[in-house]
Amino acid sequence: MRKFIYYLTSIITAPGVVVHELSHLFFCILARVKVYKVKLFQFGQLAGYVNHDEPKHFIQAFLISFGPLIINSSITIFLASQLREPYQLIHLLYLWFAIVVGMHAIPSTGDAKALFQMANHKVMRNPFILVAYPLILVLYILNLLKKLRIDILYVVLLFWLGRFYL
C-alpha cells in the first residue's frame, strides 16, 4: 500500500517536477550554459535533473539555481489569479496545476550546494557574492523545512498573492 501511495503521489505531482526541471533548463539556455542531459521526471530519490556545464559567472549559477523559485512561483501566482467565480471545470485544472507546480518551486539541496560551491570559487574575484550566502542558507533551511511541509505553506502564500494582488 505504501508503494502505491508513493507512485500515485509521484504521478499526481509530476508536472511540478517537470516545470522545476524546465526552469533550470530555461535559465541554462538563457545563460548560455551547455546542457548535457535532462531528465524531466523519474521515480526515485531524484525526481528529475539537468546536467550542465559549470557556469563561468556567478550570476549564471544564481539564475540556474533559483530558476524554479522564479518560474514555478510565477506560474502558481498567475494560475491563482485566474480562479474567479463562476467556477468551471477548467478552474479545477488550474487549481491542481498551481498546487503541484508551487510545491516544487523551492530549489533542492543540490541546487543550493551547486550555488554554494560556485560562490566559494568566485568570492575572491567578486566580493559582492557575499550577499548570496544568506540566500543560499535560506535554500538549505527551506529544504530542511520541506520535511515539515513548508512547501504547502509556500503555495498558500503564492495563492494569496495571486488572488489579491493580480
Q: How many domains does the chain have?
A: 1
Which residue range(s) make up the domain with 58? 2-165
Please say if the pLDDT value at position 1 is more than 90.
no
Does the pLDDT at position 74 exceed 80? yes
66, 72, 106, 166 from 135: Cα distances, Å:
10, 18, 12, 26
Q: What is the DSSP letter of 107?
A: P
Q: Report whether pLDDT(127) > 90.
A: no
**What pLDDT sits at residue 157?**
94
At residue 117, the pLDDT reads 92
Mean pLDDT of 54-79: 95
Structure confidence at residue 147 (pLDDT): 86
